[in-house]
Amino acid sequence: MSARPNAATTAVAEAVETAATESADPCCAAPLPVLGRDVTVPLVTGGEVTYAALDYAASAPALQRVWDDVAAYAPYYGSVHRGAGYLSQLSTDLFENSRATVAEFLDCRPGDQVVFTRSTTDSLNLLAAAVPADCQVFVFETEHHASLLPWGSPHAPGRRGSDARVTYLNAPRTPAQAVETLERALADRDPYGPALVCVTGASNVTGELWPVKELAAAAHAHGARIVLDAAQLAPHHPVSVTDLDVDWVAFSGHKLYAPFGSGVLAGRADWLQDSQPYLAGGGASRKVARRADGGVDVEWHTTAARHEAGSPNVIGVYSIASACKALTEAGFDALVARENHLIATVRAGLAEVPEVRVLSLFGDDAPRVGVISFVVEGWNSSHFAAALSAEYGIGVRDGLFCAHPLVRTLLGSDPQDPGECGAPEAAPGERSLNAIRVSFGAGTPDEHVERFVGAVKELVRNGAQWKYRTEDGRCVPDRG
């Protein structure tokens, strides 16, 4: 994963440094300024307000640093790994330097590969296509669909040549129970075949941190490998492949303050080298030759390029590397401390509202990232979220958060009042089950979470000021 700096990359680095200096915003309350921090939105009740983006768990806003770095590079954009020209050579250097930056950010081991993908979902589907035949996969029902569905499902696309056997594990109620559940399942498995454990680092529903290091130790003790879904963990906490002792880690750029549609799968090379390329095409092939019988012989790369066919998303990759550098330079200790302050503010505010129930697997004292889901007695969650947006300029998420089994387990048989709007996921005639999720991070000013807490209290106390209706599956203000 070595990269070769040259005069061209030095020129881009100087442009980036100048742009970052000129865009510095020392007055911003958040430690890492993001795009959109000054955007105003109209309120249905009249007037405008600065938008409070509290849906980081879906897609975090781009860091200003990332945007400036990409803008500084954009004039130098060229094809990667394919051109002899100056800009192509520069772009290739930038691409491979970005690979090295991500490897350092993840504290990868010597010999690990960093493969660039489109997203966490793409990364885990890539790994699912690379698992050996007859692999046993163990996954908790609490996972996001990106890590719940790719493993051997008859409905999953791209299951080329793999017959993985999947065991879905029930939702644990403590971190210790998670480890015990996995150990029991692994003890009962076929001890001679390959096995893989898939686990999240931080829940996209509750924000709770999972005991990844202990789960990795349990997996390895039983001869299994483990992949970490770090989509919600990496933007909030340091992720060390070496310290956690995971075999692979996957995450997305768009949750790490880096837009443009790129992701990462990093870890052990052997299964990736032994599998067929994820996509067949240019870049993945080292040599292609016609045979005498009219067919084609292909020699595939054994490096990360094996699974990076096609023209790579160099801007997306560079944005991830820029975000990794920004988070590292800001210091995770300081970022975590401030985020814990925001979490405490939100949780304390919600605790003052008896009608609010915060969803949790591991209990109030469990460490967590800035992701909190809840329901409000007497409200359908879609209605509540729509009112937060239309009347207060606050963007949150409502629904089942692409983690349907987990949210349904957490909601249980709680009554869900229909309100004026139904849940978008509810089928006709189905009881409406959904929740509200508020999420935040390094770009969130204190005012945004304070406004959110105040809005929740006002809505519960006074009700919505506007009428709402369901339109195309969404709850929207009724302007008729």
DSSP three-state, residue 313: coil
Torsion of CA 321, 323, 324, 329, to 10 degrees: 130
402 in active site: yes
User: Which residue(s) pair with 297 in the sheet?
Assistant: 289
Please state, as a whole number, how many other Cβ atoms lie within 10 Å of the Cβ of residue 298.
13
Q: Residue 93 in 3-state DSSP?
A: helix
Q: Is residue 287 helix, strand or coil? A: strand
Classified as helix, coil or strand, 210 is coil
| Closest C-alpha among 172, 98, 107, 158 to residue 128 | 158
- Rounded to whole angstroms, the Cα distance separating 7 from 30 reads 35
Torsion of CA 217, 218, 221, 225, to 10 degrees: -80
Helix segments in 423-473, DSSP class H: 446-462
What is the per-residue burial (b if ≥16 Cβ within 10 Å, else e) of 175-201?
beebbebbbebbeebeeeebbbbbbbb
- DSSP helix/strand/coil, 270: helix
Q: Dihedral sign for Cα 188, 141, 373, 337, please.
A: positive
Judge whether 309 and 87 are in contact, CB under 8 Å.
Answer: no
CA 374 from chain centre, in angstroms, equals 20
Q: For 396, which DSSP code?
A: -
Contact between 81 and 67 (Cβ < 8 Å): no
Is the CB of residue 393 less than 8 Å from the CB of residue 54?
no
Of 162, 160, 62, the residue nearest 443 (C-alpha)? 62
Strand 225-229 with 248-252, pairing = parallel
Q: Whole-angstrom Cα distance, residue 262 to residue 234?
A: 14
Which H or E run contains 101?
A: helix 86-105
Q: Which residue in the list 135, 324, 402, 421 is annotated as catalytic?
A: 402
Token reading at 69: 């770095």
Question: Alpha helix locations (H) across 332-444?
Answer: 332-351, 381-392, 404-411
Spatial distance between the Cα atoms of 161 and 156, rounded to a whole number of angstroms: 13
Label the pairing between strands 296-300 and 40-42.
unpaired
- Give catalytic residues, as residue numbers: 402
